[in-house]
Amino acid sequence: MTQNIPAHGSNVARKDINDLYKWKIDDLYATLDAWQAAAEDFQNALKDFAALQGKLNTKAGLLEALQKQSALSEEISKIYAYARLQLDTDNADPQFQALSGRAESLLAEFNNAVSFVEPEILALPHDFIQGFIDEADFAEFKFYLSNLLRLAPHVLPQEQEALLSQASLAASAPAAIFRSLVSADMQFPPITDGDGNPATVSEGNYLLNMTSPDRTLRQNSFRTLMSTYHNYRNTLANTLTGQCRVSRFYATAHKYNNTLEASLAEDNIPTELYHGLIKTVHDNLQPLHEYMALKKSALGFDELHPYDIYMPLSTAGESFACTFDEACARVTEALAPLGSDYIDTLKHAFASRWIDIYENKGKRSGAYSWGIYGVHPYVLLNYQPRYNSISTIAHEMGHAMHSYLANKEQTYVNSDYSIFCAEVASTTNEILLLEHTLAHATDEQKIYLINQFLEAVRTTVYRQVQFAEFELFTHGEIDAGRSLQAETLENYWLESNKTYYGPALTVDKELASEWSRIPHFYTPFYVYKYATGYSAATSFAASILCGKPGAVDKYLGFLKAGGSDYSLNILKNAGVDLTTPQPVAVTLQKFAEKVKELKALLKK
C-alpha cells in the first residue's frame, strides 16, 4: 500500500511534494502577473461602477447595474479564491499572506462599492419592477428580484437600517464574550488517564478523549470539562440571554413576530417546518433508545453514561486502508448509480488536479470544496489511509459536483446553492459509499460501518433537533419577557437528555452544564438545517439505490438547479418534500433498521 504515496505530513515542506498531488492553481490565472493585472482591472471597474449610483430608477439603468454587479462579483470570487486557496496550502508563506491581504482588501472594496444597489432597488415602486421582471432581458435576475421584493416589507428606511448597522458591533458583544471566555479565559484542570498518567482536556481534544477506549480518561474528561463550565454557569446564562435579546430586537425591528420567523425568512422556510421536524423526531425516539440500550450491552457496562456515548463499537476503520488512487476508485464505484455523465466528470476531476491531496507543513487542517464559477471546484484534503478519509473524498466531491453542475447549468447569479441545501449532495455521496462498502465488508467491518452511520444520524439529526428544540425554549422565554436562569436551563437540559436518549442512559448531573458550551446557540435557529439536509440526502440515496424510476434524473436536477429557486422548491421538484414528515421519517426508519442489523451482527 505504500507504493506511490509521497512523503507528506506536518513536517514536510510544500515544495517537497510533487505537483501531481497538488491542485492546479493556474487554472484560475495562468501566472501571478495575470492575477495582478486582473486585480488592477477589477479595481478600475469598481470606480466605473460607482457612476451608476442614483441611476437605477430606469429599466436600462437597473439592468446595467445588475449585469455589471454580477460580472464584478464573479471576478472577485476568482481573485479572492486564487489568493486564499494558496494561503490554505501554506499559511506561513509570506507571498501567500500578502496575496490574501490584497484579496481581502479588494473584497471589502467590492462590498462597499455595490452597497447602494439593493437599497436603491427597494426604494423603487414595486409595480415598476413587476412591470418588466418577466422580460427576457431580466430573465437571469428574476428570482433575485422576486426574492428581494418578498423581503422588502422587512427592510427599514435607509437611515434606520444604517442606525441598526452601526449598532451591530455593540450587539455582537454576547457572542464575543462567550468566545473569549471559553476559548481564552476558561482553564480546565489537569486530569489523569486509567493508568494514573497525567492527561489534559480542552475543547480541542474533548471529542478525541470521548472516543478513547480508556473509560477513566473519558469519565475524567467529561466531569472536568462540564464542571468547569458549571463554575461559569451564571455568566454563560447571561451571555445567552443577551444573544437571545439581541436577536429578538433585530427580528422585531424588521417587523417579524419573533426570532424564529426572522431566522427562517432568509430561506423562505415556514415556521411549521421547524415545529414539524421536532414532532417527527419525537415520534421516532424509540430507535435511539434502542441504540443506547444496544450500546450499553455491547460495551458490557452496568450503566451507560454520557461519556460512553461516543465510544466506537469497532476499530475496523484502519482495515479499509488504501492509497489515494485506490480510494478514488472505491468512491467512483460507489457513485456509479448516479450515471455515466456524473462518473465521467468525477474521473476528470481526479485526473485534472482539482484536488490538493496530502498534508504539508503550514497547510490548513480538515477538508473543503470551493466552487468557482467559470473554472472548476477546488478540493482540499489531508488524506490518510483509513475509512474516514475515503468517506471525506466522497463527501467533498459531492460538494464539488454540486457546484460544477450548478455552475454549468445556471448563470452566475443563480448558481450558488443555499446553506439549507449545502450538505445534501455531500451526505448523499457518503451514504452511497457506505452502502456500497457494506456490500463488500466483513462482519467486523460491517459493525464499524453501521456504527458510523448510526453515530452520524445520532449527532446530525437527533442531537441537532435536540439543540433546535432547546432554542425554541430559550427564545420562548425571552419572547415572554423573562431572562434565562442557569438553574432553569440546567434542569431543562437534563430532562431533554432523558427524553431523547431513554432509560438506558444514566444522566449524570454534570451533563446539566452541556448547554452552556454549544456555540451554535449564538447563531439562532441554524442547527435544524443539519437535520433537514441529512434527511434529504437519506431520501435521495434511498430512492437512487432502490432503482426508483426517475430518481437519478431528479437528483441530478437538484444538483443542476443551484440557487435558481427557493431551497424547498428545488428539493420538492426533485422528489423530497421537507414540508412533510416523510424525509425525516425515512431517515429515522433507516436508523431503526440499521440498529437491528447491528444487533444481529453483535450476536454472532
Catalytic positions, written as ranges: 396
Helix (H, G, I), strand (E, B) or coil at 192: strand
Q: Could you tell me which residues come within 8 angstroms of residue 500 by beta carbon, excluding any fewer than 6 positions away?
A: 285, 288, 462, 463, 466
DSSP letters for 32-52 = HHHHHHHHHHHHHHHHHHGGG
> Grid cell 453483535 — which residue?
602
> Grid cell 421537507 — which residue?
578
For residue 107, what is its C-alpha cell?
Answer: 473584497
Q: Could you tell me which residues come within 8 angstroms of residue 167 by beta carbon, excluding any fewer than 6 positions away?
A: none
Residues in a beta bridge with 112: none
Helix (H, G, I), strand (E, B) or coil at 95: helix
Q: How many helices (H) and strands (E) does the chain have?
A: 26, 5
Q: How far is CA 373 from CA 67, 74, 79, 404, 408, in A?
A: 16, 7, 12, 8, 8
Helix (H, G, I), strand (E, B) or coil at 518: coil
Nearest partner of 104 among 114, 112, 92, 116, judged by Cα: 112
Distance CA 116, CA 326 (A): 51
Q: Could you tell me which residues come within 8 angstroms of residue 226 by beta carbon, excluding any fewer than 6 positions away?
A: 510, 511, 512, 513, 514
For residue 142, what is its C-alpha cell?
Answer: 428574476
Structural contact between residues 557 and 574, judged by C-beta atoms closer than 8 angstroms: yes
Nearest partner of 275 among 58, 1, 473, 512, judged by Cα: 473
Q: Could you tell me whether strands 355-356 and 378-380 are parallel, antiparallel, or unpaired per DSSP bridges?
A: parallel
